[in-house]
Amino acid sequence: MTRQEIRQAIIDILADIAPDEDTASLKDDVSLRDQLGLDSMDFLDIVMELRKRYNVEVPSSDYPQLATMTSCLDYLSPKMA
């Protein structure tokens, strides 16, 4: 997947997890938690959806890598390339 495709995949997951929020205009360098009001259960949902949809494992020690869109892309690009 290209970086752009991975970005869209993350947005699709976020749209399901935070259905009341506007995920189309996310800022890539601002924390997802702050922009979307995510809590720890939501991040576990992101991890689960990555596992379900893309067979990608995110160990708990790597959860901080999911903080922003940019950090997500940096972290996931090698795994989803």
Partner 1 sequence: MAIQDRIVITGVGLTSPNGDNLEQYRKNLLAGVSGVQDFETRYMGKLIAGVCHYDPLKYQKKKDVRRGTRAGSIAIYCSHEAIADSGIDFSSADKSRVGVFLGITEHGNVETENEVYNISLKGYDTAFWTHHHNPRTVANNPAGEVTLSMGISGPHYTVGAACAAGNAGLISGVQMLRLGEVDVALAGGVSEAIHTFGIFASFKAQGALATHEIAAKASRPYDLDRNGIVVSEGGCVYVLERYEDARKRGAKIYGEIAGYAMNSDASDFVLPLPQRQVECMRLALARAGITPAEVDIVNTHATATRLGDQQESQAVREVFNETPTTYINNTKSFIGHAMGAAAALELAGNLPAFQDLVVHPTINVDHLDPECAIPNLVMNEPRKIQKVDYILNNSAGMLGINAVVVVKRV
Point out which residues bind partner 1 (CB under 8 A). Answer: 16-20, 41, 44-45, 48, 51-52
CA separation, residue 19 to residues 57, 75, 77 (Å): 24, 24, 25
| Shortest reach from residue 20's CB to partner 1, in Å | 5
Four-residue CA torsion sign, 26, 67, 54, 48: negative
Nearer of residues 29 and 39 to partner 1, judged by Cβ? 39
In angstroms, rounded to a whole number, what is the distance separating the alpha carbons of residues 69 and 7? 8
CA-CA distance, 62 to 57, in Å (whole number)?
A: 10
By C-beta, is 11 or 44 nearer to partner 1? 44
* Type of residue numbered 69: M
Least Å distance, CB 34 to partner 1, is 16
**4 or 41, CB closer to partner 1?**
41
CB of 80 to partner 1, least distance (A): 18
